Structure 1
């Protein structure tokens, strides 16, 4: 097959949604766990599609990059929105409290957020667009206090390691309860705070190739790709 025939074949495949490049942005431990499964499935189902991955992209920045058409597909959490960005629910999670195992509140079955008023917290940086950081601030504010953040870290697993080391407590996602380093415990909040995990794309993006990968992601999430509880 000469170069002209090859180009025509690739164009036909792209028209069917079987070939092309899809730029996918993600961040956070929840999505890091399912990306290998998505990539494996895409390579098997659509060998002509190249996934270009951008990691360490937390929710707020993912919304920005999809809105600006810098990536085709992003992962994030609600609340969050940008003009022209559509979302599809992948999983319902909730916030849990992460505590050092020897913390006095660790003996409780569930924790009232108001009982964390005098605690020090570890959290993602405010500048990184973290939905978890925003939810921490909002939940504490609704309970009548401003959380005192004494140390920041760019990812959830590092934050949980800091909790295990006794640096502070934090609110994190229920999907992270699989991570159990020595010295760390998780407890539910008395009043559950739900968190919706979503996949996002721009409504003006009509690429069949992008929508092929979107359908694959939604199917993978529906078959256990995202875990909302300890597994």
Structure 2
């Protein structure tokens, strides 16, 4: 059904005459008459009884009028919903965030700003290590993520440097290293380490292992944790020391002391915001715009 003709029909009914209705809908009366006749021909019914003193609705016309309001209202609601989706004002954005960065202030502020700017968009955040994030970005099960990236970014991804960071030494609060931190990383070979298994995040594991090898460090691993939060919990319990990104300070349990070392500061552990270049979701594009408009990343 032609919604324009339906709109004209409602105007004629509510105004009570063709002349008044033509003024309301801003078309000439002859054109309006033709549109009403066209609607009747399409429906193969008479909608009005026409007589010298005006027009009255037929039974079919009354039935159409009772439904017309709902049809026009539903049409407006559908159009408004489609416009909102097309502009990214509604919908959903799914994000991965590395476990260590869920509490980083820059990310928390970004999420809060997006919620303020787009309150009708559902925001789903998943704590995921960098490796699983990359896999889910490739398959499209998340829209974007905050993660570590290799120097060569996969072809299917686009990325934006979001936050600079570097490595730090994490030791139990009661460790002698608190009072006498080592000058060189190789001095840590004599200490027990808490570390993570390679399969949980191969990119992160290999990156750190290669860097430690250059510095002459071969960690003596006595305990493993699935992620940095678990690792820091084991450090706090006195089971060993570890080396983690500096941003882990934001999610660390009590009992862990962090030590900055010149050699560790040189290892870039920056976080990138990345998304699948084939994902054209308007809501995601709005999120990307906010990320790219955030202040330039500073070293944490």
TM-score by length of 1: 0.83
Q: Distance in 2 between matches of 1:110 and 1:179?
A: 24
Other-structure match for 2:275: 201
Check conservation: 2:104, 2:250, Cα contact below 8 A.
Answer: no
Pairwise mapping of residues 5-84 of structure 1 onto structure 2 (< 5 A)? 5-34=76-105, 36-55=108-127, 57-79=128-150, 81-84=153-156
Say which of 256, 271, 281 aligns to 1:184: 256
Q: Is the aligned partner of 1:128 residue 2:196?
A: no
Other-structure match for 1:147: 219
Check conservation: 1:89, 1:197, Cα contact below 8 A.
Answer: yes
Pairwise mapping of residues 83-94 of structure 1 onto structure 2 (< 5 A)? 83-94=155-166
Between 1 and 2, higher relative CO (CA 8 Å, sep ≥ 6) is seen in: 1
SS, match of residue 107 in structure 1 = coil
Alignment length (residue pairs): 225
Show CA shifts across 1:63-97 (max 9, x none): 22112212111110133633311110111111000
CA shift in 2, pair 1:33/1:190, >3 Å: closer
When structure 1 is superposed on structure 2, of 11-20 and 138-147 the one drifting more is: 138-147
Pairwise mapping of residues 202-221 of structure 1 onto structure 2 (< 5 A)? 202-219=276-293
Check conservation: 1:18, 1:48, Cα contact below 8 A.
Answer: yes
Show CA shifts across 1:94-134 (max 9, x none): 10001123333332356421111232211233222265534
5+ long unaligned stretches in structure 2: 1-71
Q: Is the aligned partner of 1:166 residue 2:251?
A: no
Check conservation: 2:147, 2:273, Cα contact below 8 A.
Answer: yes
5+ long unaligned stretches in structure 1: none
Greater Cα radius of gyration, structure 1 or 2: 2
Check conservation: 1:111, 1:188, Cα contact below 8 A.
Answer: no
TM-score by length of 2: 0.66
Q: Distance in 2 between matches of 1:25 and 1:179?
A: 17
1:219 positional shift: 4.2
When structure 1 is superposed on structure 2, of 14-23 and 38-47 the one drifting more is: 38-47
Q: CA RMSD in A?
A: 2.7
Q: Distance in 1 between matches of 2:75 and 2:202?
A: 47
Q: Distance in 1 between matches of 2:238 and 2:208?
A: 19
More helix by share: 2
When structure 1 is superposed on structure 2, of 43-52 and 195-204 the one drifting more is: 43-52
Check conservation: 2:171, 2:240, Cα contact below 8 A.
Answer: yes
Other-structure match for 2:25: none
